[in-house]
Amino acid sequence: MKKLQTVLLFFVIATLFSTLPAKASAISVADFAKSFEGTKYKFAGNTPEEGFDCSGFIVYVYDKFGKKLPRTSEGQFNYGTPVDQQNLQRGDLVFFKDTYKPGISHTGIYLGDNTFISAENEKRGVAVAKLAGHPYWGPKYVGAKRLLGNSTPTEPVKSFVDVNTQHPAHEAITALSGQGIINGFPNDEFKPEDTITRGQAAAILNRVLQLTPTTDVVFADVDKNHQFAVHIAAMNEAGILRGYENGHFGLQDTLTRTQLAVIVDRAFKLQAKAGGEVQIASDYADIPPTYWAKNAIQALKHFDKTGIFQTPTYEFTKSVTRADFTAAVYSAIHAK
């Protein structure tokens, strides 16, 4: 009898542990995701308590199964093995385009029987919907990825044809593009020497900071439905990248390298992190001692992890390139 009780106890414990969402199968991912049906929606939400947005829901669920994913739908699309719609399995990620912004903008988890679950909106929260044949989701479906299984590569696309491994910003570009923070172009190009606009800068910064504005965008040159509208409103409200006094944001205007240093300093508080050490950064030959942005520029150089800013001159009036901006944000993210 005692031996039988021991066996039964072991069976109960084993059964309990088998229900925990850790290193589990795709079926367990689907069941675990389904358990959050009805959870409220919150833009930039990351937990059941505060609510989820679509990509935050995916990150939360898959994190419980040992899979670390980028925070955006675009970044998540770079992971896993592509799956045809007719071969979908429970737990696969399904992606949609042109929802609240152009391009890949929504992610869900396939539940089987032509259904998926996702954090939809404030009205429905985390909800189940049909895939094929749905009047809204059906036409916006763009593809699926499988993250679990013996043949699943879970590394993002890491190379661009125009950024070789010797490029000083290679590591930064690889990391941030893999996380969906800054995206490349068709034909595997990154275009590192192209300039970056104020609108693009606002979006990239807020993909990292995940700030939610309290009001809609208010600039004459930014439509409220523009793909970067929420990011621009958030950056302006936070005082990181403000609009102009004439009521415009300068959506298509480029940034100078001085502006780059200042907004990255505001976003990541680089001077505060450096403390007095910012003063020991080597001076640039073209930055006067009394220049208004000197400390912000020196803070960027102090934390630079790429070598992009380890130069004799800073060229503070020069337009910022995509490589410059990526190197600055990457360095700021890793600033201690």
pLDDT in tens, 61-81: 998 888 888 888 888 888 888
Is the domain of 202 the same as that of 95?
Answer: no
260 within domain boundaries: yes
Ramachandran region of residue 315, left (φ > 0), alpha (ψ -120 to 50) or beta?
A: left
Is the domain of 292 the same as that of 186?
Answer: yes
Range of the domain at 79: 20-146
Cβ(287)–Cβ(309) under 8 Å? no
- Radius of gyration of the chain from Cα atoms? 23
What is the predicted pLDDT for the residue at 87?
84
Give every CB contact of residue 165 below 8 A, 6+ residues apart in sequence: none
Summary count for the chain: helices (H), strands (E): 12, 8
Instruction: Find the CATH number of the domain harbouring 57.
Output: 3.90.1720.10
2 within domain boundaries: no
Enumerate the β-bridge partners of residue 41: 52
- Worst-scoring range by mean pLDDT, 8-17, 184-193, 283-292? 8-17
Tokens at 60, concatenated: 């939360």
Among 114, 146, 178, where does a domain finish? 146
What is the predicted pLDDT for the residue at 9?
43
Q: What is the mean pLDDT of residues 159-188?
A: 85
Is the domain of 227 the same as that of 301?
Answer: yes
What is the predicted pLDDT for the residue at 212?
87
7 within domain boundaries: no
The percentage of residues in the chain with a pLDDT greater than 90, rounded to a whole number, is: 57
What is the predicted pLDDT for the residue at 26?
40
Is the domain of 276 the same as that of 185?
Answer: yes
Task: Please say if the pLDDT value at position 122 is more than 70.
Answer: yes
Q: How far is it, in rounded angstroms, from Cα 231 to Cα 35?
A: 31
Is the domain of 27 the same as that of 106?
Answer: yes
Task: Please say if the pLDDT value at position 156 is more than 70.
Answer: no
What is the predicted pLDDT for the residue at 180?
74
Enumerate the β-bridge partners of residue 93: 109, 145
Task: Please say if the pLDDT value at position 1 is more than 70.
Answer: no
- Worst-scoring range by mean pLDDT, 20-34, 111-125, 232-246, 269-283? 20-34
Is the domain of 181 the same as that of 141?
Answer: no
The percentage of residues in the chain with a pLDDT greater than 70, rounded to a whole number, is: 87
160 within domain boundaries: no
Q: How far is it, in rounded angstroms, from Cα 82 to Cα 77?
A: 9
121-125, 141-145, 224-228, 321-325 — most confident range:
321-325
Q: What is the mean pLDDT of residues 150-163?
A: 58
Q: Tell me the per-residue pLDDT of 297-334, one tens digit each, with 9 for 90 and over.
A: 999 999 999 999 999 999 999 999 999 999 999 999 98
Among 113, 146, 179, where does a domain finish? 146
What is the predicted pLDDT for the residue at 285?
93
215 within domain boundaries: yes
What is the predicted pLDDT for the residue at 152?
37
Across the chain, mean pLDDT equals: 85
Q: What is the mean pLDDT of residues 158-167?
A: 86
Is the domain of 130 the same as that of 192?
Answer: no
What is the predicted pLDDT for the residue at 22?
43
Among 146, 178, 210, where does a domain finish? 146
Task: Please say if the pLDDT value at position 10 is more than 50.
Answer: no
Q: What is the mean pLDDT of residues 241-245?
A: 95
Q: How far is it, in rounded angstroms, from Cα 253 to Cα 323?
A: 17
More confident call, 191 vs 227: 191
Count: domains in the chain: 2
- Worst-scoring range by mean pLDDT, 7-16, 28-37, 107-116, 170-179? 7-16
| Count of CB atoms situated within 10 Å of the CB of 158 | 12
155 within domain boundaries: no
Is the domain of 138 the same as that of 203?
Answer: no
What is the predicted pLDDT for the residue at 25?
41
Q: What is the mean pLDDT of residues 248-254?
A: 96
What separation in angstroms does the CA of 78 have from each of 69, 147, 154, 292?
10, 11, 9, 41
What is the predicted pLDDT for the residue at 248?
96
Cβ(26)–Cβ(149) under 8 Å? yes
92 within domain boundaries: yes
Is the domain of 183 the same as that of 303?
Answer: yes
Is the domain of 325 the same as that of 209?
Answer: yes
How does residue 85 score in pLDDT terms, banded at 50, 70 and 90? confident
Distance of CA 157 to the CA centre of its chain: 15
189 within domain boundaries: yes
Half-sphere exposure at residue 271, Cβ-oriented, CA atoms within 13 angstroms: 13
Token pair 């385009």 is at which residue?
97
What is the predicted pLDDT for the residue at 52?
94
Is the domain of 240 the same as that of 175?
Answer: yes
Is the domain of 100 the same as that of 176?
Answer: no
